[in-house]
Amino acid sequence: MDNDIQGRPAHIAAIRERAEAEMREMGVDEAFIDRLVETFYARVLAHPDLGPVFDARLSGRWPQHMAKMKSFWSAVAFRSGAYGGKPVQAHTGVANLTPELFPKWLSLFAATLNDIAPSPQAKAWFMATAERIAKSLTLSLFYNPALDDPKRKPA
């Protein structure tokens, strides 16, 4: 067991090094992540459906949110472990948040990547990651297993 504990930091460091190399090959760096977050959230605010939901929740706290999102995307991309937030809790109880907003969020994210991603590989990686996040949040916030009960479905 001691060997497992002693090997863990080296294993974590190797994961981070591989992630950093992968991102470098795709042209992703911290400057890109900053630009992605800034560009995307400017578009979110301007969106007729997303903007009001986000602004109602984040009014007066946009700078903190932007810093948190930059930290989040950096931690995800570079596997740094630097982000310690709780996304499901953060989105629980957001006024007017509906499952129908997630495809709009994804569409806006895809359009942003189309415009600024440094490579097709970066675009694909960030989009796949955003899709997993949206699916996870949608399931966590809105899924009701009772609705899948075959006894409740009309014949």
Domains of the chain: 2-143 (1.10.490.10)
CA distance 44 to 47: 5
* Per-residue pLDDT at 55: 92
Report how far residue 122's alpha carbon sits from residue 7's, in angstroms, rounded to the nearest whole number. 31
Averages of pLDDT over runs of 10 residues in the chain (155 residues) are 61 84 95 98 96 92 94 91 69 77 96 98 97 91 72 60
CA–CA separation, 140 and 91 (whole Å):
10
What's residue 15's pLDDT? Answer: 83
Q: What's the pLDDT at 94? A: 67
3-state secondary structure the chain: CHHHHHHHHHHHHHHHHHHHHHHHHHCCCHHHHHHHHHHHHHHHHHCCCHHHHHHHHHCCCHHHHHHHHHHHHHHHHHCCCCCCCCHHHHHCCCCCCCCCHHHHHHHHHHHHHHHHCCCHHHHHHHHHHHHHHHHHHHHHHHCCHHHHCHHHCCC
